[in-house]
Amino acid sequence: MTERREYSALVERHFAAPRNVGRFEPAFDVLVARSGRVDQGIEIVLSARIEAERIAALRHLVYGCPHSIAAASWLTERLVGATLDELAQWRWREAATALDVPPEKWGRLLAIEDAVRGLERAWRERASSRARTA
């Protein structure tokens, strides 16, 4: 290309081969969250399968810049094994640091954090629903 942004090696690796692409089929132990819009430069769908009150696996679909694609892919490995409390504590700055994302792209990471918050809400609703059923 005529112009070339600098990307960290981790961004390049995840962009070239994104991990855990796709989404889980709807099920009681599957949580889904979506955030962003194409005209905002990023749209992401996260789906998580819960086992024994931990995230057993994550899948993602993402439209966005290389940083967004890499961050979404990286997140699907980072959050495996997380409990609800650990998920609630996750913030976008961790991805910014790990992937060396420049400040002008931090807004895209906020959209990814919004998707994580969506998973958190879905998880809490699932827990309340189970409590009511019990």
Partner 1 sequence: MNAPLPIYLDYAATTPIDPRVAEAMIECLREPELQGNPSSMGHEYGRRARARVEQARAQVAAAVNGRPECIVWTSGATESNNLALLGVARFHADRGKHIVSSKTEHKAVLDALKQLESEGFFVTYLKPGADGIVAPEQVSEALRDDTQLVSLMHVNNEIGIIQDVGAIGRICRERGILFHVDAAQSMGKVGIDVQAMCVDLLSLTAHKSYGPKGVGALYVRRNPPVGLRPLIFGGGQELGLRSGTLPTHQIVGMGLACEIAEREREADVARICALRERLWTGISKLGRVELNGHRTQRVCGVLNVSFHGVEGESLKFALTDLAVSSGSACASASDAPSYVLRALGRSDQLAQSSLRFSLGRFTTEAEIDAAIAAVTREVERLRAIAPATSPAK
Q: Which residues bind partner 1 (CB under 8 A)?
A: 1-3, 5, 7, 15, 18, 21, 34, 38-39, 41-45, 61-66, 68-69
How far CA 20 is from CA of 17, 52, 58, 127, in Å, comes to: 10, 21, 7, 25
**Alpha-carbon span 118 to 26, nearest angstrom:** 16
d(CA 37, CA 23) in angstroms, rounded, equals: 18
Please state the closest distance from residue 122 (CB atom) to partner 1, in A. Answer: 16
- In the bound state with partner 1, the residue whose beta carbon lies nearer, of 9 and 38, is 38
**Of the two residues 43 and 113, which places its CB atom closer to partner 1 in the complex?**
43
Q: Which two tokens stand for residue 104?
A: 């002008």
Closest approach, Cβ 79 to partner 1, in A, equals: 18
